[in-house]
Amino acid sequence: MSNHSGERAAQRIRLAIIVAVLAALALASFWVLQVLRSNSDGSLAPRPHSKPDYYVEKFSYVKMSETGQPRYDITGARMVHFPDDDSFEVTLPVITTLSEEKAPMTLHSQRARIEDDNSKIHMYGDVNGNRAATAKSENMHLKTEYLLLLPDDDIAKTDKPVELTMGASIMTGTGMIANNATQEFQLLHNVRGTYQPRPR
């Protein structure tokens, strides 16, 4: 009896040790999983922004040139200023170039971020641009999801897919550089489209 009792006691001790080890492994695995989740959440979290110091609703802003001539006009539903980097975030922006020498171009999107002393305008979400036809150029329409506008240089860029319509010609591609001053457009990658000569 003593031998059987001793064996049963030893088995219970071994079983208790195994259960304790498994419980420790389970707790360790849970802790590692929580650490990984917290690190992942932190890496995906957006960069914290400072609190805005003022905002304007239903605004209209005209940027003037050094000679006092209007260069472009920005309107929107709401504009918020962030003092940490002197940037602006705009809801439903509409940007129109103003020049007596060149055809005006109008751009609109869901939102925009203006930075670097208004020299860079990042437009996000359902970006559309329109330029009316002139005696020297056809009407133009572009569509993309992101556009970097450099208004002082009359240049627009994107690294996203873009659809460009000029008259009856339609072209698509990934990446674009557009110069409104020279009315030159360059699609960078995966270019496809149909070209229709301009009627004379």
32 assigned to some structural domain: yes
- Can you say whether the dihedral through the CA atoms of 77, 118, 155, 177 is positive or negative? negative
Structural domain boundaries, residue 34: 1-45
Q: Looking at the 3D structure of the chain, how many domains does it have?
A: 2
Residue-wise pLDDT for 84-128, tens only, equals: 889 999 999 999 988 777 778 899 999 999 998 888 999 999 999
Do 124 and 170 belong to one domain? yes
How much is the pLDDT for 77? Answer: 97
Contact indicator for 190, 162 with CB cutoff of 8 Å: no
**Using CA atoms, how far apart are residues 145 and 127, in angstroms rounded to an integer?**
5
Q: Which pLDDT score, from 0 to 100, does residue 13 have?
A: 59
Q: What is the pTM of this model?
A: 0.70
Q: Residue type for 90, please?
A: V
38-73 residue pLDDT tens:
333 333 334 455 788 899 999 998 888 778 888 889
Q: Where are the alpha helices (DSSP H) in 45-113?
A: none
Separation CA 183–CA 167 (nearest Å): 14
Q: How far is CA 144 from the centre of its chain?
A: 11
pLDDT in tens, 142-186: 999 999 999 888 899 999 999 999 888 899 999 999 887 777 888
**CATH number of the domain where residue 150 is located:** 2.60.450.10
The answer to whether residue 36 scores a pLDDT higher than 80 is no
Q: Is the pLDDT of residue 26 over 50?
A: no
- How big is the chain, counted in residues? 200
* Judgement on whether residues 25 and 76 belong to the same structural domain of the protein: no
Pairing type for strands 169-179 and 105-108 reads unpaired
The predicted pLDDT at position 167 comes to 84
